[in-house]
Each structure stands twice: as structure tokens, then as C-alpha cells.
């Protein structure tokens, strides 16, 4: 039995390496809000691309808690939440220092807890239908199958760039 499991693991690694041109490591996550795309990159080589739903008010950078906007800027993946209210969640390090200063200058709380996540628990049946509208409070949403793949490929500390 151990031999079969080991052979399966090796075969999985070989297939993954071939699909990624020999290096399956995700070095960076790029989110393009205008295209509604999340791209996993190794250098400049796209490894995977996903369609996403954004905050319910997607135009412009997040300014403060409750504005339903998705941030714009450079962040990192700083936490993995397997017990989220949404099927798996990778937290983005929003707010950064510039986000905090901008919000505080306006007398507002910048908010936080911006995640790349799957669908709300119990609503996985929606699948890609969730893309019909931007519906999050500022997070980046993908299907449950997609967040499982992203979860397996993206490590803590991975840079995330969110473009307008």
C-alpha cells in the first residue's frame, strides 16, 4: 500500500511539474480588478488564472471599513484560515501603512480582514454563478474548487498585487 501511495505522490509531482514548466512555485499573486482576474505567477509566467468576484463597490481603492471596495496596492498573504465562514480563506495584509495613513487622515478606520476566499459555507453549489455580481465586502471570491487549488499552491508571505 505504501508503494502505491508513494508512486501516486511521485506521479502527481511529475504531472504538476510538467504543467508548470518544471517549477510549480507560486512567486506572486496578481489581481486585476478591471478584468476580474486572479493570476498565480512564477516570475512573469502565469501558472493559473481564475475569474473573481470583488467587493460590491469595486471601482476605486478601499478607503475605510464598510465601503465594500477591494483594496489596490501591494500586500502579502499573511494568514490562512481553514475555519472561515467562507470555504477556506487566505488573508491579504491590508491595510498597509499608506492605507492606514489615508484612512486616519480622513478620520476613518481603514478596516481589514480582506481575504481571497471560496463561497460562503453551505453555498458551494453556486459554483461559477457567484460571478454574476460583485458581492463581497471587499474580498476576492472564487469557487470552492478554485480556492482549494489556490490554497495548495500559495504560501504564507507570497506577494499580492491588486491593480485597479
C-alpha cell at 8: 501516486
Hey, what domains does the chain have and what are their CATH numbers? 26-163 (2.40.440.10)
pLDDT in tens, 135-145: 999 999 999 99
Instruction: Please give the Cα distance from 95 to 141 (Å, whole number).
Output: 18
User: What pLDDT score was predicted for residue 138?
Assistant: 95
pLDDT in tens, 7-16: 343 344 444 4
pLDDT in tens, 17-68: 445 455 469 999 999 999 999 999 999 999 999 999 999 998 999 999 999 9
C-alpha pair distances (Å), 119 with each of 33, 96, 136: 18, 26, 10
Q: Where are the alpha helices (DSSP H) in the chain?
A: 2-19, 97-105, 144-153
In this prediction the pTM is 0.83
φ, ψ of residue 130 to 5 degrees: the values are -65, -15
Instruction: Please give the Cα distance from 50 to 32 (Å, whole number).
Output: 11
Amino acid at each position: 500500500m505504501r508503494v502505491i501511495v508513494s508512486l501516486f505522490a511521485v506521479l502527481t509531482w511529475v504531472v504538476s511539474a510538467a504543467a508548470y514548466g518544471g517549477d510549480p512555485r507560486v512567486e506572486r499573486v496578481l489581481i486585476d480588478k478591471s478584468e476580474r482576474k486572479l493570476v498565480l505567477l512564477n516570475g512573469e509566467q502565469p501558472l493559473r488564472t481564475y475569474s473573481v468576484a470583488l467587493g460590491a463597490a469595486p471601482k476605486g481603492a478601499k478607503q475605510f471599513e464598510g465601503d465594500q471596495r477591494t483594496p489596490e496596492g501591494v500586500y502579502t498573504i499573511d494568514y490562512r484560515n481553514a475555519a472561515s465562514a467562507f470555504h477556506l480563506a487566505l488573508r491579504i495584509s491590508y491595510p498597509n501603512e499608506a492605507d492606514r495613513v489615508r484612512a486616519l487622515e480622513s478620520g476613518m478606520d481603514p478596516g481589514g480582514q480582506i481575504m481571497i476566499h471560496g463561497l460562503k459555507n453551505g453555498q458551494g453549489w453556486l459554483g461559477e454563478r457567484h460571478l454574476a455580481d460583485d458581492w463581497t465586502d471587499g474580498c476576492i471570491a472564487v469557487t470552492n474548487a478554485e480556492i482549494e487549488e489556490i490554497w495548495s499552491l500559495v504560501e504564507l508571505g507570497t506577494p499580492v498585487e491588486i491593480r485597479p
